[in-house]
Amino acid sequence: MSVYDKFVANKRLRRATILILVCLIFYLFRSMLSLFLLTFIFTFLSVQLVRSVQKHVRVKPIFILAPLYILIIAVVIWAASNYIPQLVNQSSKIINSLTKFYESKEFRDSKYVSYIYEYLQTINLDNQIKTATTQVVNYITSVGAIGLNIFMSFILSFFYTSQIDDMNKFGRQFLTSNYGWLFEDIRYYGQKFINTFGVVIEAQLMIAVVNTVLTTITLIVMKMPGVIALAAMVFILSLIPVAGVIISLVPLSFVAYSVDGFKYVIYIIIMVIVIHMIETYFLNPQFMSTMTHLPIFFTFVVLIVSEELLGAWGLIIGIPIFVFFLDILGVHSIGGGQKKRKKIRIRRDG
């Protein structure tokens, strides 16, 4: 038996080698990471929608997707023309009000914040703010590239999902080719990736929407300024598992203190605690019932490491990627706990 035949016959070594090669390819094309991930997320969500509709009505995917995508484009255009100017205006007002409040005599004379002010002076906050502002400007200048990636991902997901049956039929031809073992292993990893990454991302999006709605309602009741800007910030931060709600507490507390002192800060803390409890005891079990949760310690460690390796994307996709690799290693699998419990029940019944 040749070395090639031995390699093909050794499934464990073969799959490990392919996984390393796939990771290397993604690393070489890391500049296109945003396009890959956005395309996958849009495609996953649209395929889930199509399959859900087809369970009740037998209709071609194009007749489901075309009206939906046209509606989404219309809503985006309407929201961009009506709310982006308000978002920019409210964001600038919040920044200006916080800057004035930070520089005010009331803030510096307060016994509660004097220690904080002295600490901020020691870490040279002014220069850090200037550096952060420069970074924000750089991010804003890259909005065009981000918008292009979103648009391309949106279009690619439409073409793939609208022809999903033909795509699946075409893909199955690779399994019977001369290198069918290679594509069989790629399909194996693809199914694992969808079962982990896709489910977690879908659940986190639903959690982010619910968190944003609850927070926005509370901010409106409290008559906080810049509700649209704060709601957008909360939605983005809610995409970060576990830590997102906690991180959002800091800017919300500063805005609340500038409005009505520590009384509003306490209200904000209570709101964040309540939303965090809803997320922990209701949303996570409801939206992520098919997966075993990671300990909070591992969650924060993965977020820190993934942010260092992948930047802002790492905060969103770090947990799903980590769960994917745990699933590959056989350490942590989606639905594993439920399957084990079902087996135990069957044995007991038997």
What are the tens digits of pLDDT across the range 295-311? 767 777 887 888 777 77
Here the tokens at position 340 are: 């084990």
Say what percent of the chain tops pLDDT 90.
3
Q: Is residue 141 part of a domain?
A: yes
Query: Once rounded to an integer, what is the mean pLDDT over residues 164-188?
Result: 88
Q: Is residue 350 part of a domain?
A: no
Domain count, the chain: 1
| pLDDT exceeds 60 at position 143 | no
Here the tokens at position 19 are: 């996984």
Q: Band the pLDDT of 321: cuts 50, 70, 90.
A: confident
Residue pair 229/87 in contact (Cβ under 8 Å)? The answer is yes
| pLDDT exceeds 50 at position 341 | no
| pLDDT exceeds 70 at position 58 | yes
**CA atoms of 307 and 163, how far apart (whole Å):** 35
The overall average pLDDT reported for the chain is 75
Q: Which of 206, 216, 214 is nearest to 284 (CA)?
A: 206
Residue pair 250/98 in contact (Cβ under 8 Å)? The answer is no
What are the tens digits of pLDDT across the range 79-133? 777 766 766 676 676 667 666 766 666 666 666 566 665 665 565 555 555 555 5
Residue 102: per-residue pLDDT: 64
Residue 342: per-residue pLDDT: 42
What are the tens digits of pLDDT across the range 248-294? 777 777 777 777 777 888 888 888 888 877 776 676 656 654 454 66
Q: Is residue 347 part of a domain?
A: no
Greatest CA span in the chain, whole angstroms? 83
Residue pair 20/27 in contact (Cβ under 8 Å)? The answer is no
Q: Is residue 217 part of a domain?
A: yes
Q: Report angle CA 25, 28, 30 to the nearest 5 degrees.
A: 105
Sequence-separated (6 or more) residues with CB below 8 Å from residue 171: 183, 187
Residue 226: per-residue pLDDT: 72
Range of the domain at 76: 3-339
Q: Which of 7, 40, 8 is nearest to 184 (CA)?
A: 8
- Mutual orientation of helices 312-329 and 199-221 as an angle, nearest 10°? 140
| pLDDT exceeds 80 at position 322 | yes
What are the tens digits of pLDDT across the range 204-254? 788 888 888 888 888 888 888 778 777 877 887 777 766 677 777 777 777
| pLDDT exceeds 50 at position 345 | no
Q: Is residue 345 part of a domain?
A: no
Q: Is residue 92 part of a domain?
A: yes
Could you tell me the pTM of the whole model?
0.65
Here the tokens at position 276 are: 């965090």
Q: Report angle CA 153, 302, 143 to the nearest 5 degrees.
A: 35
Comparing 71-80, 301-310, 333-342, which segment has the lowest mean pLDDT?
333-342
Residue 132: per-residue pLDDT: 52
